[in-house]
Structure formats: structure tokens, C-alpha cells
Amino acid sequence: MRFLAQCFGAVFELIHLRFQHPQAKRGFSAAGQLVCAVRPTHSPTYVSSRKAATRSPPEQASFHTGHLNYHHCRRHPYHLCHQEAGLHDVQVTPCRCPLFSCQWEGHLEVVVPHLSQTHRVDILQGAEIVFLATDMHLPAPADWTMVHSCLGHHFLLVLRKQERHEGHPQFFATMLLIGTPTQADCFTYRLELSRNHRRLAWEATPRSVLEGVDAVITDGDCLVLNPSLAQLFSDNGRLAIAIAVAAAKVPPAEVAV
């Protein structure tokens, strides 16, 4: 039911975008991309989520009764890089929740149901999709999150508004593989902003969710937007990020650096 609502929402957003963003029409219509509208989540919500998590039984014991969206996950078992890396214990690898202020801890395999159930993170399938962050004007700290399911894996897209220096919020966008660092090296991802005859594109190897969003931001290994740049690419407080994931041609470990 939620998946159907999500599809309707995506179609509605697509129609809306074609009227609201005439300059983006070609990009959206030609590619036939799915659009996922994402609202921000603030720290108060995370606090209540954390309380709920500490009160509920451990998620790793309950994920079999998970959210409807979880079937997206079950359709794509970790088999590609899993075999290459020879990692048979990914399911039981300890992992923290990658979202801001959430203290949840569980196993890697149950991160997706945790995100879906506790944080109501949407899961979208497709080679190329559009992540549409709404209410960009809301104050920091805030996270916009979505799970992108493709190539037999789940990737967590995080757009974070954070004041790394007091009074100066910035936006950080990155994609994390919900898998191990070895598995993450098998992929590349691309985030692209396009509006008003400007285009900003970021391509990188995804980091593992085991490393955490904070480490990625600290390393500068993400797309960084200051408020004026975010404003330039936003339309009425909404920022559209086109996302694409592909298999890496040559795994980084094999390239001389």
C-alpha cells in the first residue's frame, strides 16, 4: 500500500516538475526517471526514534516481520561482490544506524529494515532516479534520506544540513553502500544538480555504511553545497538530485595510485 502511494507520489512529482521546472523538462522526460520526494528529518524526531529503539527489542531479532518495503531488499540478496570478496559473514557484521543522532546498533543485514521501519526511509528501485529534497530552508541539523536499490544492493543516499561551523550551515550529499567497504569498491555513483544553465556533478566510489556519514563528511568525500549554491539549484525550497549507480570498471584496489 505504501509502495503504491510512493509510486503515485513519484508520478505526481514528475508531472509537477514538468510544469514547475520547464528548463528541466528534457532531463526528466527523456530519461523517464523515477522521482522520490523526501522530507527532512530533524534531531527531535531522531531523539524520539532513539527512545523507541531502546525500548523495543533488538531489531536484528525482529526484521523478519519487517515493513512492506523490505521486500525490495529481499529481492536482491548480496551475491555480486559478496562472492568476490569471499565474505560470508556480512549478515552478522555489527553496524550502527548511519543517521544523525540515532544510537541504534544491529547487524548489517538489518540496517535496511531499521531505516525503513524506524526512520520511515523510502526505498526506490531503478538504475537512475531523482532524489527530490523538500523544505531545504528548514534549520540544521536535518537529514534527507532514501535507499536506492539497484544492481543487487542497497545504497543509502544522505543529504545532511549541518553547521560544522556555528551559524554557517552547509549541505553534504553522499551515497553509502549498505555493505562492507570491499563491496563498496565494486561500484561508482554520480550525483548531479542541474538548473538555470548550471550543472554540478559528483562522481565517486561509495563508502560503506560501516564507516558512517560523519567520517565521509569529515574527509570531504562527498558533494558539498554552501547555502548560496544550494539556493542556486533549488526551486521553491526543493532540491532535485539526479542519482546513478554503476558497477566500477576497474576495482580501485587494482589501479596503481
Contacting residues toward a copy of itself, per CB under 8 A:
22-23, 165, 167-168, 170, 188, 196-205, 218-221, 223-232, 252, 255-257
Inter-residue contact 207 to 36 (CB < 8 Å): no
Helices (H), 59-195: 59-62, 70-74, 80-85, 111-118, 181-184
Instruction: Name which of 54 and 228 has its Cβ closer to a copy of itself.
Output: 228
| Smallest separation, CB 238 to a copy of itself (Å) | 16
| Smallest separation, CB 223 to a copy of itself (Å) | 8
Which 8-state DSSP code applies to residue 141? S
| Smallest separation, CB 48 to a copy of itself (Å) | 32
Instruction: Name which of 34 and 136 has its Cβ closer to a copy of itself.
Output: 136
| Smallest separation, CB 181 to a copy of itself (Å) | 13
Q: Which three cell numbers stand for residue 130?
A: 531523482
Contacts of 189 (CB under 8 A, 6+ apart): 155, 175, 203, 204, 205, 206, 243, 244, 245, 246
Inter-residue contact 93 to 180 (CB < 8 Å): yes
- Phi, psi dihedral angles at 117 (to 5 degrees): -80, -50
Contacts of 60 (CB under 8 A, 6+ apart): 106, 107, 109, 110
| Smallest separation, CB 78 to a copy of itself (Å) | 22
Tell me the residue ranges of DSSP E strands in 108-206. 123-125, 128-133, 142-150, 153-165, 168-177, 187-195, 198-204
Instruction: Name which of 62 and 188 has its Cβ closer to a copy of itself.
Output: 188
| Smallest separation, CB 157 to a copy of itself (Å) | 17
